[in-house]
């Protein structure tokens, strides 16, 4: 039990970092209404870019900016595949994800793993200093949420929301839905890569597989946040906060089930099943409600 509490700060720090990633997922999944699988690749792109930029002697802030831009570029590619090649969003994301596997290896000069030691480089956070890591990650989350809150309150942000909500309505009101989808994917993947750059600093390395299954963790965080806080958090900024809280809870639960003896290799299956069940719940609720009215009508 004591060791469980000792592992809490680590879970919280990781949860916040992945919560930032979940904010990126929220933009596509909830606002644009597309499930974007690019994120599995762009998470690692963020980490790889971060490490390589630090190795070339850059300052951490600049390196993170470049990581953000690299993620934006990845989202742009998916956006072009989707809107200009007419490829369904899910497949467009899978294609970019595959491209990114090769690109990420190139970024890391063909090595699957590159270390980023906090002893050698001036990093913004590291798991060696958990309180600091939690504070730094929280500040990033807060700034990102504040910026998005502002953006989605602007004319352009509104047109993005309309695009995700009702494309017919958006087009009839003169909104270029293709451009908006690209903007959304760019923003989302930029944020995801930023989260990847934080994660690589936190864990002290970048790995070609660090984003594998990221979409599932992101969705889990979004859904947990909605289930637990959806009733009280109505404001857009608070909904994003809920996604971050969802990320934290996800990591606390993971830590718990690992302590309880779940095989670490089964973790991905466990997460995917949990997400499947939570995505199923609204569908089942509807089914049951429909079944009731049908019987009621008869």
Q: Would you say 145 or 175 has its CB closer to other proteins?
A: 175
Q: Do residues 211 and 42 touch, judged by C-beta distance below 8 A?
A: yes
Shortest distance in whole angstroms from residue 83 CB to other proteins: 12
CA distances, 151 to each of 7, 145, 227, 228, 264 (Å):
36, 10, 25, 26, 39
Q: Would you say 171 or 212 has its CB closer to other proteins?
A: 171
Q: Would you say 155 or 297 has its CB closer to other proteins?
A: 155
CA dist., res. 41 & res. 38, Å (int): 6
User: Which positions lie near other proteins, rule CB under 8 A?
Assistant: 151, 153-159, 161-162, 165-166, 168-177
Q: How many Å is the Cα radius of gyration of the chain?
A: 20
Shortest distance in whole angstroms from residue 233 CB to other proteins: 15
Shortest distance in whole angstroms from residue 234 CB to other proteins: 10
Please name the residue ranges forming H helices in 175-263: 177-203, 214-229, 236-259
Q: Would you say 34 or 51 has its CB closer to other proteins?
A: 34
Shortest distance in whole angstroms from residue 262 CB to other proteins: 37
Shortest distance in whole angstroms from residue 150 CB to other proteins: 9
CA dist., res. 250 & res. 15, Å (int): 7
Take residue 252 and report the two structure tokens written for it: 């606390």
């Amino acid at each position: 039990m004591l060791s469980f509490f000792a592992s809490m700060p680590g879970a919280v720090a990781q949860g916040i970092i992945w919560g930032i990633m979940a904010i990126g997922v929220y933009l596509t999944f909830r606002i644009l209404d597309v499930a974007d699988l690019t994120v599995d690749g762009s998470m690692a792109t963020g980490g790889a870019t971060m490490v390589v930029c630090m190795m070339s002697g850059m300052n951490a802030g600049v390196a993170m900016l470049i990581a953000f831009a690299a993620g934006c570029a990845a989202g742009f590619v998916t956006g072009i595949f989707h809107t200009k090649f007419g490829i369904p969003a899910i497949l467009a994301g899978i294609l970019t994800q595959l491209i990114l596997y090769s690109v990420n290896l190139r970024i890391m000069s063909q090595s699957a793993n590159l270390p980023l030691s906090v002893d050698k480089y001036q990093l913004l956070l590291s798991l060696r200093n958990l309180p600091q890591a939690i504070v730094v990650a929280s500040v990033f989350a807060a700034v990102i949420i504040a910026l998005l809150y502002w953006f989605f309150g602007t004319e352009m942000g509104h047109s993005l929301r309309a695009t995700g909500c009702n494309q017919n309505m958006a087009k009839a009101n003169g909104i270029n839905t293709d451009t908006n989808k690209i903007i959304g994917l760019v923003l989302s993947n930029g944020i995801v890569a930023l989260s990847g750059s934080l994660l690589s600093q936190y864990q002290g390395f970048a790995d070609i597989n660090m984003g594998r299954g990221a979409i599932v963790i992101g969705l889990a965080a979004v859904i947990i946040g909605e289930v637990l806080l959806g009733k009280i958090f109505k404001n857009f900024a608070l909904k994003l906060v809920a996604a971050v809280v969802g990320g934290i809870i996800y990591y606390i639960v993971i830590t718990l089930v690992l302590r309880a003896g779940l095989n670490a290799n089964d973790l991905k299956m466990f997460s995917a099943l949990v997400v499947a069940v939570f995505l199923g719940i609204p569908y089942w609720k509807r089914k049951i409600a429909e079944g009731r009215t049908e019987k009621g009508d008869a």
